[in-house]
Structure 1
Amino acid sequence: MKIAVIGAGPAGLCALKSCLDENFSCDVFEKSGLIGGVWNYNEKTGLDEFGIPIHNSVYTDLWTNLPTDLMQFENFPFKCPVSFVRQPDVLKYINDYADAFNLRSHIQFYKHVEEIRPLPNNRWKISIRDLKSMGQELVIKEYDAVIICVGNFNKPLIPTFKGLDKFKGTVKHSYTYRKPDPYKNRKVLIVGKGPSGSDITGLVSKVAEKVVLSHRSPLREYAKFSENVKIKPVIAEFKENSVLFVDGTEEDITDVLLCTGYAFDYPFLTNECGIEVEDNYVKYLYKQIINAKHPTMAILGIPHTTFLLIMFGIQMRFFIAYLKGQFTASKETMIEDAINYEKHRKDEGGSLLKIKKEYYDDLSDTAKIQNIPPVYDKLFRHVLEVGPMKYQENYTILNDEEFIITKLH
């Protein structure tokens, strides 16, 4: 079987290794000259030297928001004396993984995938532009299966706000944030309290005159910031030099930094591929992995409120089990399952992108593959529960069920 993998970030590397372990022929197409995807720091923003959008959104002084035990590939321990590390440590780990299994020789760099189109008999036609030839060379190749591993941090999600067009200050998305320096002595509004929003608030507050953090739900009492940080609710309206909040308060600001997440985006997929994105959710994916309309296509990493690198492993084992015929499901069954899953999650009132232990149990039961050890879910739930206090702890996994906590001083 001949398989194409799009992207050489963590998901793409995991997909490649999984395919090689099955003795599948596998080509990885990476538009940059590096592996690691979003974990590569790039001072530049906007377009690269080939006119392609730069998708590196990590910033200086970025710390992981999950411990290393939850940021490792299956069967490849992240060896580090502390649980929370910086971006260069993660990038080194990813490169060590690629080198340990000789993955680089299967990766074609500076290859920009322009189009993926389904063919009869569940095959795929892929159009690849060679960027090193100044875009002059277009290669067409055919594959038995394709795995999309482009990540979820490519297209900034920018909400609409009343009056934002009248605001006279700067408005940027965290996608382009690199250092706090431009905000020195400024009055900065940060929108969004997710991991990036909270992290960037702490960094910018060290240089700004004041930081106003707007969020939808209350921050926990122990999420402490410096005295120049004000916590505010949802925005009601922007004015020329200030912002009004739904509680009736108003703050003078000079800059806006939107930490509002990202939208799923697959511009290289033709309409015939059947992939639809609605309300920032990718529809018709069986078990949030397999393209139900063309089941020799998989997309890794859609549920991203979880331990991603570990999840990539079981998602790949699930897809490979399907390709090898270890379990079967008709297209109609896949579509119905995907629709029912979406409806069930919406009825629950939870995010479609957050998954529970039951998701992994379902993958394991359906494909008759090894499940992930329960200790990962237990550690993940603990980290979510303690919130920012997690940075005062170190974790050691003892076995498939247990972990211990060491307090840091």
Structure 2
Amino acid sequence: MSETAPYAAKSAQSLGRLHGAGPSPTRSEFQRDRDRIIHSTAFRRLQHKTQVFLAHEGRHFRNRLTHTLEVSQIARSIARALRLDEDLAEAVALSHDLGHTPFGHAGERALHRAMEPYGGFDHNVQALRVVTLLENRYAEHDGLNLTWETLEGILKHNGPLLDAQGRPYGRYAHEGLPSGLDAIPAPADLRLSTFASLEAQVAAVADDIAYNAHDIDDALRAGLVTVPDFADVPMAGPIVSEVLGLYPDIGAKRHAHEIQRRMITRAVEDVIATSAARIAAAGVETSEDVRLAGEPLVTFSAATANAEKGLKAFLFDRVYRHEAVMVPVRESESVVERLFAAYMADPDMPGRWGEAGRAVTGAERARIVADFVAGMTDPYALDQYQRLFDARPDFR
């Protein structure tokens, strides 16, 4: 990799880890973070967690793991082009979904409702809990002992949590800060009112690029839409017309792949060109300048951002709220809500979870139950549901 830009994060200047780890003769600090994440239990569980479509439906739909790997690849490509630290961008990308529940966003909504009396549930905070508290394989400490920069990126890759006056910012302006933040151990203040590094911002936009493209692909595989349905849809429409014009006879499967890869390529190129210009215009010279810039510097162009909103509106209407999707969504929400209620009433959870849950009540028990339920894979959640209620939900 060529030398990084002055405003890139510098592994040698990291604010460090909560627990000393000593220098590595073969890896940078951010490379070590990436490797710890890949080898974690929570990362492996992503292969059995829903993205949009439930895994039991087959047809090679994405799961959280395949989505995460796609985000990671896109993040590295953008970071390389912008002369950022690819390893930090990859570490944040690989860890950005570690806090997600089983059954995708349906499970998260259900767990948030169940946790509302106790401060709610937020998957970014949960990811921090996973990497700082809940992973327990190391001999000398709980958690993965990641660097400050990776922890900051996990928490703030979508932007600050507070504005400059200390008020909840962005989506947190309506609901307030999520609970659990004060329990996160970190080597230094995570500075909730500043933006994260450019590398973390890259991971966030890579997430958008990946799920826009692969949700189209999965929706086509599921038969919820056809390629011609996208003819007038912003962002996708011009590419659909182009592909159908160039390759009218190659078949729907090849059409879908060609559309997907062209969408990813053009979105990546748009982000690189736009972000390079924004970084230059902002005059940032260090990663600290980036944090204090007052706005994100890694973004789509205005035209692409507007087109992306139109695409998301189409997907929301035609895919995410399609009855074939909503039936398993409603069942999934019920599974998560009933599991949470059952464990709150009787913390009949295995191992350390049950022991800890029985020792406390109220908000403390709720946090333990939320940690346990959020960490479940889809199949494990269904097995626990079967054990507790002697029933199997019908997702059809």
TM-score between both structures, scaled by the size of structure 1: 0.30
- Whichever structure has more helix as a proportion of its residues is 2
Structure showing greater relative contact order (alpha-carbon pairs closer than 8 Å, 6 or more residues apart)? 2
- Whichever structure has more strand as a proportion of its residues is 1
TM-score between both structures, scaled by the size of structure 2: 0.30
